[in-house]
Chain A
């Protein structure tokens, strides 16, 4: 049977992708941001996951204002890197796992999560930057990816509690898939950042670290944080952290942190990255 072996969270700042693509990761400015991913690169090379369910948000790339799905799952065989206005990132095409994706989509709908199913979609920095951070610059990505896009742009986004519950349902769906697969769930975006208005540049290291602390163990406090708290404490774009809760929900009752990394700044944003495993 398929099984969820670990969870990974990371910011998906586009400038991190640009630094990788332009060979600047060793620069003085970028070195400390990237240093925290070295442990994970080695760990991923050992773990060799078959599939990553990658929770992210589209940044006006695949979806425009015409259609705004709250939760959308990518069921295609492959996903091309999107042209976000300066040409697509020079990264491999992302290979999907259509069998597992369709299995998860069907299971979630039967569990009363009204998913949008996507059969054709380009994927932007929200999805490709985390892959680059964990796997570097390979010819071909070493995992298959099931993109799970969450609306965190147009209000209201889903509640933290709903994201957590979605993660729990994903775990049940994976557990009922007959093929023996090593599956990881990644929650991306965040941490504190505000990209707009006179309050731009807001960073709240204390809040961010308290959020990371509460990903570990069996506390369920994080699922009850209201949207207004993310907005006030972590900036208007800090709301992306609800996507981390899909990952946390998928890990089950309790977790252990294997690795954590926090760095300010990368461009306008606080970089947060955590690797967790479920504790049975």
Chain B
């Protein structure tokens, strides 16, 4: 039997580096969490009905109350979820934005995949996206 010690991650740098080797994926690391702190907290604020109302009345004015970069604000206004992931957004926080828009996870997630909602849904019904060729950037070269 293997003891707990053997499971410990030896080197934090290689642990984190490996995350950058997954195609089409942004792992929510501390670096991203720091970059996206205010963006995610803004999204979180939409859980309160009174905030949702103010947000819907004037999105730009509501965003200006938060310490977001101009890029982040523009990506929110554009509902550009891949861009928001690049700017430190996390999907569970960003979900408050699309839920306020009345959109489901399926609808919002399909926009990130570069497919139409119909094509994405058809892919899911057919068993989802295969991991073949999508495990590692290195394997693709």
Given A60-B96, A194-B25, A197-B85, decide whether A154 and B33 contact each other with a Cβ distance below 8 A: yes
The docked-state distance in angstroms from the alpha carbon of A182 to that of B104 is 38
Q: Is the Cβ of B41 less than 8 Å from the Cβ of A236?
A: no
**Could you give 6 example pairs across A and B, Cβ below 8 Å?**
A60-B43, A60-B96, A153-B90, A156-B15, A200-B113, A224-B2
A114 interface hit (Cβ, 8 Å) = no
Segment of B58-66, B69-77, B124-132 in the binding face: B124-132
Chain A residues in 8 Å Cβ range of B25: 194, 196-197, 199, 231, 235-236
Q: Does A205 contact B (CB under 8 A)?
A: yes
Whether B47 pairs with A83 at a CB distance below 8 angstroms is yes
Asked if residues A60 and B131 are in contact (CB atoms below 8 Å), the reply is no
Rounded to whole Å, the gap between the CB of B135 and the closest CB of chain A is 4
Nearest-neighbor residue (CB-CB) of A267 within chain B: B106
Q: Please, which residues of chain A bring their CB within 8 A of the CB of B15?
A: 156, 227-228
**A231 contacts which chain B residues (CB < 8 A)?**
19, 22, 25, 27
Q: Which of A59, A160, A201, A220 contacts B1, CB < 8 Å?
A: A220
Task: Count contacts on B: residues with CB < 8 A to the other chain.
Answer: 61
Q: Contacts A60-B96, A196-B109; is A154 near B128 (CB within 8 Å)? A: no
* Interface contact A155-B29, CB-CB below 8 Å: yes
The DSSP consensus for interface residues of chain A is loop
Contact of B7 among A156, A194, A201, A224 (CB under 8 A): A224
Residues of B within 8 A of A (CB): 1-2, 4, 6-9, 15, 18-19, 22-30, 33, 37, 40-41, 43-44, 46-49, 52, 81-82, 85, 90-93, 95-96, 99-100, 104-106, 109-110, 112-114, 120, 123-125, 127-131, 134-136
Which single residue of chain A is at the shortest CB-CB distance from B98?
A85
Chain B contact residues: helix, strand, loop or mixed: helix
Question: A115 contacts the other chain (Cβ, under 8 Å)?
Answer: no
| A65→B41 contact, CB < 8 A | yes
Within the assembled complex, what's the spacing in Å between the Cα atoms of A200 and B125? 14
Q: What is A's interface to B at a CB cutoff of 8 Å?
A: 14-15, 59-61, 64-66, 82-86, 153-156, 159-162, 165, 192, 194-205, 207, 220, 223-224, 226-228, 231-233, 235-237, 264-265, 267-268, 270
Min CB distance, A99 to chain B, in Å? 30
Closest 9 A-B residue pairs measured CB to CB? A203-B128, A199-B24, A85-B99, A198-B24, A161-B7, A265-B124, A201-B129, A60-B92, A232-B135
Do residues A196 and B26 form an inter-chain contact, with CB atoms below 8 A?
yes
- In angstroms, Cα B49 to Cα A150, docked, is 27
User: In the complex, which of the residues A14, A15, A60, A232 contacts B22, with contact meaning CB atoms closer than 8 Å?
Assistant: A232
Closest chain-B Cβ to A215's Cβ sits at a distance in Å of 17
**Contact indicator B37/A197 (Cβ below 8 Å):** no
